[in-house]
Structure 1
Amino acid sequence: MPDGPYRWFVYAELALAAVTFVALQFVVAPYGGRHGRTGWGPTVPSRVGWVVMEAPASLLFLAFYLLGEHRGELVPLLLLLLWQAHYVQRAFVYPFLMRSGSRMPVLVMVLAIGFNLLNAWVNARWVSQYGDYPVGWLADPRFWVGVALFAGGYVLNVSSDRRLRRLRRQGDGYRIPRGGGFRFVSSPNYLGEMIEWTGWAVATWSLAGAAFALYTIANLAPRAMANHRWYRETFDDYPADRKALVPFVL
């Protein structure tokens, strides 16, 4: 990893992962929906909040990527496609499939924008400038293991979100989700995203990728536990053998 400011940006993301994990042991982030609540200041429609806070992860990553000397090389371009596959869906597709009516605190949106700015810089600059990804990296098992993890996590994340949307369209209020990853855990959508970015860390084999994977786990694992508690408290018939996040374990 290069010396200078870049190194400290990566360390800052690692530190932020630790701070986020500790903070979420005491506070459930009010993104809207079941955990939405007052007391967090002004709010915006959740659909608007998701677009505004996630779009920088796609657009700024591309802008930072294009600054790199290796931007036209094959492997960096493939990594760019992986990143955009997630964030184009998250910023420009997912919000428009959401149920209208829920709201998100502006504070949460602003904090997410700040993180996405840092994370896009750290990972884009590594992939197209500081990392070393010759064509021979395509023969390295780490690349393909990482891509397989990313693809599997992506499918689990998107398919789980789709099941939740279909469930909500069946009537007002919340119901127990069933089928797919929900047979095993309460938040397979979060599990899928954690697997995705673990795959990214393996495919890039970088501290930048590892920092993002660790932050994702630090952010989503406590939220998955909060969802699990909510389901158990809300539904008397919630499946007793369903885990919160990791099948058969946690």
Structure 2
Amino acid sequence: MLYTCIIALCFFIVLIGLFLTLYHLKQSTKNNNTEQPKFSLQYPYAWLIQESPSLIITTAFYHFSADSQTDYGAYLNGLLVLHYTYRCLIYPFMVDWKCRNSLFSVAFAFQFSVWNGLAQCAWNSFFQPEWAEKTDTENWLNALGVLMFLLGLFTHIIADIQLVHHRRVSCSCTIPKRFLFSLVTSPQYFGECLQWIGYFLAATSPPALAFALFTICNFAPRARNIHRWHCSVEEGNRKALIPFVL
């Protein structure tokens, strides 16, 4: 029964990703409208609320599923705790307090965080085999995935810091020009895509695959729109999402 529910959640996650792809593809340019939503929350509170389920769920599974999860499953849940500690407790207080997010977006993201957190952690706690039980090829693949996860996490944290700092000191609609910003318009999205593809290689589970696909579906078209908008206001040779490629 639990296995069936997790697989159903995986299809749900992918469907949401496809929906977001269609939504973003309809946006030919980045929305530069400064008008705030009528019903909204300041960015820090919005991010804190919408990401809190992921942190609570991953932390709970990490600490209270010791009897059922393998050591490797606990390790994967620990990676999730690491990511969502940053995303929930650090990043919200870096962003601009003047910006606001609509209550609908917050509610949508909150609900998604619940379902995705449950799918990832339930699989890691009840269905993830021990590292020693895998073949050498699987172990190397998992190790590569962990490395990609950490590299992607580092990339999007540094990109977040640069972007937040740039917006505070610059009144223009330009983007930074150092680090990966010299190569791509949205290195923060590149870092997240790299991170969750790496997590899929580390976990090799249906929920991890679903979330990796969701991340690509969500961020790739957004990076395309942002790149087109920035190309219309300033020149540059940077790519949209993947350095030297796309």
Give TM-score scaled by structure 1 length: 0.88
Quick check: 1:75–1:138 contact (8 Å CA) kept in 2? no
Q: Which moved more, 1:94-103 or 1:12-21?
A: 12-21
Compute the displacement of 1:64 (Å): 4.3
Give the equivalent residue in structure 1 for 2:53: 56
Distance verdict in 2 for CA 1:204–1:90, change over 3 Å: same
2:106 match: secondary structure: helix
| CA apart distance, 1:2 | 6.6
Quote the RMSD (CA, aligned, Å). 2.5
Q: Counterpart in 2 of 1:82? A: 79
- 1:51 maps to a residue whose letter is L
Q: Could you tell me which amino acid in structure 2 is paired with residue 75 of structure 1?
A: Y
Q: Please give the alpha-carbon distance, in whole angstroms, between the structure 1 residues aligned to 2:33 and 2:52.
A: 23
Select 2:238's aligned residue among 233, 236, 242.
Answer: 242
C-alpha separation in 1, matches of 2:114 and 2:28: 23
> Following the alignment from structure 2 to structure 1, what is the Cα–Cα distance between the partners of residues 84 and 29?
21
> Contact 1:191–1:246 at 8 Å: present in 2 too?
yes
Could you tell me which residue of structure 2 aligns to residue 25 of structure 1? 25
Structure 2 residue aligned with 1:164: 163
Residues 56-100 of structure 1: CA deviation (Å, up to 9, x unaligned): 1111223345347433x3212221221111111011001111122
Structure 1 position 28, deviation (Å): 8.3
Go from structure 1 to structure 2 and tell me whether the alpha carbon gap of 1:225 and 1:145 turns closer, same or farther (over 3 Å shift).
same
Q: Which amino acid aligns with 2:88?
A: A
Map 1:155-234 to 2 at 5 A: 155-234=154-233
2:29–2:226 contact (8 Å) kept in structure 1: no
> Are 2:112 and 1:115 equivalent residues in the alignment?
yes
Deviates more, 1:1-10 or 1:160-169: 1-10
Instruction: Check whether the contact 2:38–2:102 (CA below 8 A) recurs between aligned residues.
Output: yes
Residue 58 of structure 1 aligns with an amino acid whose one-letter code is L
Shift of the 220–132 alpha-carbon distance from structure 1 to 2, 3 Å rule, reads same
Identity %: 26
CA distances 1:199-227 after superposition (whole Å, capped 9, x unpaired): 01000011110000000011111111111
2-structure distance, mates of 1:182, 1:35:
23
More deviation, 61-70/43-52: 61-70
Check whether the contact 1:144–1:203 (CA below 8 A) recurs between aligned residues.
Answer: yes
Q: Following the alignment from structure 1 to structure 2, what is the Cα–Cα distance between the partners of residues 211 and 17?
A: 9
The CA distance in 2 between the partners of 1:94 and 1:212, in whole Å, is 21
SS across alignment from 1:4: helix
| Cα distance in 1, alignment partners of residues 2 and 220 from structure 2 | 31
**Structure 1 residue 150, shift from structure 2 partner:** 0.4
Segments of structure 2 that go 5 or more residues without pairing to the other structure are none
Deviation by residue 1:132-180 (Cα, 9 ceiling, x = unmatched): 2344459611210100110111111011111112212323343331111
Per the alignment, residue 91 of structure 1 pairs with 88
Counterpart CA distance in 1 for 2:33 and 2:243 is 23
Q: Aligned pairs, how many?
A: 243
